[in-house]
């Protein structure tokens, strides 16, 4: 089957399969927000479940990032994806069949565990199939597809749940996840050589030591390398704010301060998904074609995110609806550079055998940011106290000023990132 397709067609097919899998990762991540109310009624439980259910995905996801890199480098990305994605499919179906809160939370842990193994192995496969300059474009496109996933988890999921209930929806998604897992096994290959094509990235002498690098040695190499840390801090502080807002507190903020319904708040938040869908490819284009620099694009975009966030911290309750849409779009547009430019920077800083380990280690930091930020903001809002079940605008304002300090830290870190853009001009 492979040789009926040309090299370009074959790698496009591989990207399409892996990209669709990545859409599902975001769908699984954000789905509970839409069906939470139905789930709470169904499982006869209160709002506390929402927090536990939502975070039950993030813990295994964050914990799996180093193993994801290690398994991609040792066991191979394709095998890792198939094995874990199948677990994620089972988790989704188990969630649909859950009749107690405990079972639902356990199922969610399996979903998080299963889909944690898509992003890093996919980047590893793209490293082998795409030239360096194309790789930045493709990782930008991959991030856009994440945004598509975030978008499908809003209105489309609500409509599907109306039609076939939340349980039916989770079964459908579980089956889709299983089908994709099968497609990865049948059609995806880790390297062009495995599919009978010549390798595309013959090693540059300085970047490819022929020897294998052991797992533990690989992690130590990553952590000891000075240029790793500014990028890690930049993703930690930037994602702390972004995930805390998009993943949890943005919705309640719009509902409490601007009196929106859940549907209206969801619509405004979907502007964030669109910011990411458009921002990611634009950032990779700016990096490759306009500035010929990773560092400049990263620093400018972090400054952009900081400047966009500032008015929300100081004029928290004074936005018009239109301004909120524009704000959500602009903020995520700038922040999308973290992944697109950031991960390319880290990949270019290490030998190719440990690119999986390096990106996997970096990928712990955004999720660590989410795990710190979401509960801290909640804890602060609780300490101020709710009035008639709603947190006051001043409480949000102070929380956002704390977020602003985190974004300032991310911007300062971006200034310390080392330039890794290839010296020679890139050909189209």
The CB-based long-range contact list for 321-327 (8 Å cut-off, 24+ gap) reads: 321/258, 321/268, 324/254, 324/258, 324/268, 325/268, 325/271, 326/271
Give the span between the Cα atoms of 361 and 368, in whole angstroms.
Answer: 11
The CB-based long-range contact list for 10-16 (8 Å cut-off, 24+ gap) reads: 10/195, 10/197, 11/129, 11/130, 11/192, 13/187, 14/125, 14/129, 14/187, 14/188, 14/189, 15/126, 15/129, 15/138, 15/141
Polymer length of the chain: 428
pLDDT given at position 205: 40
CA-nearest of 322, 345, 325 to 333 is 325
Give the span between the Cα atoms of 54 and 109, in whole angstroms.
Answer: 10
Q: Indicate the SS3 state at residue 387.
A: strand
Give the span between the Cα atoms of 11 and 232, in whole angstroms.
Answer: 30
Q: Indicate the SS3 state at residue 308.
A: helix
pLDDT given at position 368: 84
Burial 247-266 (b: 16+ CB within 10 A, else e): bbbbbebbebbbebeeeebb
DSSP state of 353: G
pLDDT given at position 132: 75
pLDDT given at position 45: 65
- Largest Cα–Cα separation, the chain: 66
Q: Indicate the SS3 state at residue 390.
A: strand
CATH code at 1-191 = 1.20.1250.20
Name the pTM for this structure: 0.77
Mean pLDDT by 10 residues, the chain (428 residues): 77 95 87 68 65 74 81 88 96 92 89 90 89 79 82 75 87 95 95 88 51 72 89 94 81 84 78 88 89 92 96 93 95 89 83 78 85 80 77 91 96 92 61
pLDDT given at position 428: 41
Q: Is the dihedral of CA 58, 36, 105, 160 positive or negative?
A: negative
Specify the domain boundaries for CATH 1.20.1250.20 within the chain.
1-191, 215-421
Give the span between the Cα atoms of 147 and 176, in whole angstroms.
Answer: 18
Give the span between the Cα atoms of 14 and 340, in whole angstroms.
Answer: 19
Give the span between the Cα atoms of 204 and 190, in whole angstroms.
Answer: 20
Superfamily of domain 215-421: MFS general substrate transporter like domains (1.20.1250.20)
């Amino acid at each position: 089957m492979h040789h009926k397709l040309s090299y370009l067609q074959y790698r496009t097919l591989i990207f399409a399969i892996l990209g669709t899998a990545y859409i599902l990762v975001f769908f699984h991540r954000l789905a509970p927000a839409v069906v939470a109310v139905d789930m709470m009624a169904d499982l006869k439980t209160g709002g506390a479940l929402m927090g536990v259910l939502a975070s039950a995905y993030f813990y295994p996801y964050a914990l799996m990032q180093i193993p994801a890199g290690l398994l991609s480098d040792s066991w191979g990305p394709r095998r890792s994806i198939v094995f874990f994605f199948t677990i994620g499919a089972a988790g989704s179906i188990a969630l649909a069949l859950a009749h107690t809160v405990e079972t639902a939370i356990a199922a969610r842990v399996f979903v998080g565990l299963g889909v944690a193994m898509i992003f890093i192995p996919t980047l590893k496969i793209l490293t082998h199939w795409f030239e360096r300059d194309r790789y930045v474009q493709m990782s930008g496109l991959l991030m856009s597809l994440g945004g598509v996933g975030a978008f499908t988890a809003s209105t489309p999921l609500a409509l599907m749940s109306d039609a076939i209930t939340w349980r039916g929806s989770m079964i459908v998604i579980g089956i889709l996840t299983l089908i994709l897992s099968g497609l990865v096994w049948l059609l995806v290959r880790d390297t062009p050589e495995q599919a009978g094509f010549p390798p595309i990235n013959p090693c540059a002498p300085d970047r490819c030591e022929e020897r294998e690098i052991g797992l533990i040695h690989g992690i130590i190499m990553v952590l000891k390398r000075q240029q790793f840390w500014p990028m890690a801090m930049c993703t930690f502080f930037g994602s702390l704010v972004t995930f805390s807002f998009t993943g949890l507190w943005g919705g309640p903020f719009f509902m409490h301060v601007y009196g929106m319904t859940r549907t209206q708040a969801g619509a405004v938040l979907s502007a964030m998904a669109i910011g990411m869908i458009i921002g990611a490819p634009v950032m990779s284009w700016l990096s490759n074609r306009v500035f010929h620099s990773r560092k400049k694009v990263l620093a400018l975009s972090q400054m952009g995110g900081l400047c966009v966030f500032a008015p929300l911290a100081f004029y928290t309750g004074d936005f018009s609806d239109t301004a909120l849409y524009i704000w959500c779009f602009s903020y995520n547009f700038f922040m999308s550079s973290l992944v697109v430019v950031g991960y390319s920077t880290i990949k270019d800083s290490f030998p190719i055998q440990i690119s999986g380990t390096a990106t996997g280690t970096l990928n712990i930091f955004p999720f660590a940011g989410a795990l710190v930020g979401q509960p801290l903001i909640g804890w602060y809002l609780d300490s101020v106290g709710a009035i008639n079940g709603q947190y006051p605008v001043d409480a949000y304002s102070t929380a956002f000023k704390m977020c602003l300090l985190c974004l300032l830290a991310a911007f300062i870190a971006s200034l310390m990132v080392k330039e890794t853009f290839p010296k020679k001009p890139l050909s189209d």
